[in-house]
Amino acid sequence: MRTKKYIETRLPSLEGKTYVVTGANSGLGFQASKILASKGARVFLACRSEKRANEAIEKIKKEVKNAKLEFIEYDQSDYEKITSFCQNLAKLNIKIDGFVANAGVYFPPKEKKTKLGYPLTFGVNFVGVYILIRNLINEDVFNSHPTRFVFVGSVAKALAYPKTFDKWFYDDRVNRNFQYSYSKAGITLLSTYLMNEDLNNVPEMKFPSNVEVYYTHPGITNTNIVRSNEGGFGKNFVKVAQNFLKIFFQSPERASLTMVKALTTEKSGKNISIRPRGPFEISGLPQPRKMNKINKIAAPRFMDYVENELSKKSI
């Protein structure tokens, strides 16, 4: 009930606004898309599968009459398709008010890697987003229209601060939970780097002045990110894990409010994160808080490493 009331009373009308949400056919992306549509926005669901996207669209339309929803193909695991996605988005020549970089994987089949040789979790969740941003900038997707770019992090980032960053990119021997943590720590540092012009010395990674960067994390929620068909889990484990999440943590709808709040808040996104207000940031309605200062110290060193690493791959 609190979530429904928050949506009705704390979020403004979004009539005339246009948003792009990656990974929008399920989980947090689906819920954020539904909320945005319920407030009158036009939403592009950027997903790998057109079939799943259309199923999500039909599901939302059953709850939100006259929802303005469209599918656009996006596969964050395929870097060539990321480039094509950005080119296609640019060709649409639409005024995008907000872009939510939500897509990601949590627990893919063990030892599976991207074409560039990175463990799939880090290769999709961090490298994929990095390449996405480069292409959005290169294709001038946002033109001169005021836009918000929203990163989606995780409380899991706290587990991942090794002495050297090469472990993040290449160590597929570690537990996949830690690989996920590495990827989300990378997202935190990347967002810090992009929202602070004084840190950013990479021209190809500078958003134009009309784009404002926001960082969010949803707490811990019951989503279908734990799946047996793509995640390498057994069916019994999936059932137990999903029931555990459902009992102890917040719903995907409430968790997705941090993303929607970032798109609609009047507060500047610079050096704040929008996260759950409850104990340990596990659950609760969204609340802006200052980002940890250590991120500003680590971000330039990390980005120097990233640039050097990806230059070897001709990216």
Q: What is the pLDDT of residue 228?
A: 42
Query: Domain spanning 14-311: which superfamily?
Result: NAD(P)-binding Rossmann-like Domain (3.40.50.720)
Express each pLDDT in 217-267 by its tens digit. 999 886 555 444 445 545 554 554 555 455 457 899 999 999 999 999 999
Is the model's pTM score more than 0.75? Answer: yes
Residue 37's pLDDT band, with cuts at 50, 70 and 90, is: very high
Q: What is the pLDDT of residue 315?
A: 81
Q: What is the pLDDT of residue 237?
A: 46
For 39-73, letters b (16+ CB in 10 Å) and e give bbbbbbbbbbeeebbeebbeebeeebeebbbebbe
Q: How far is CA 122 from CA 43, 176, 204, 248, 293, in A?
A: 27, 10, 21, 27, 24
Spans of all domains in the chain = 14-311
Residue 151's pLDDT band, with cuts at 50, 70 and 90, is: very high
In this structure, the chain runs to a length of: 315
For 231-243, letters b (16+ CB in 10 Å) and e give bebeeeebeebbe
Q: What is the pLDDT of residue 235?
A: 59
Express each pLDDT in 107-140 by its tens digit. 888 888 998 899 999 999 999 999 999 999 999 9
The mean pLDDT value for 134-160 works out to 92
Q: What is the pLDDT of residue 109?
A: 85
C-alpha dihedral, 15 to 275 to 167 to 107, nearest 10°: -70
Residue 33, phi-psi category: left (phi > 0), alpha (psi -120 to 50), beta (remainder) = alpha
How many other CB atoms sit within 10 Å of the CB of residue 306?
23
Mean pLDDT score of the chain, rounded to an integer? 90
Express each pLDDT in 210-228 by its tens digit. 999 999 999 988 655 544 4
Are 1 and 24 in contact by the 8 Å Cβ rule? The answer is no
Residue 151 CB burial class (10 angstroms; 0-12, 13-18, ≥19): buried
Express each pLDDT in 175-189 by its tens digit. 888 899 999 999 999
Express each pLDDT in 88-114 by its tens digit. 999 999 999 999 999 999 888 888 899
CA pair distance 160, 167, nearest whole angstrom: 10
**Residues ≥6 apart with Cβ < 8 Å to 159:** 177, 178, 181
Express each pLDDT in 263-304 by its tens digit. 999 999 999 999 999 888 999 999 999 999 999 999 999 999
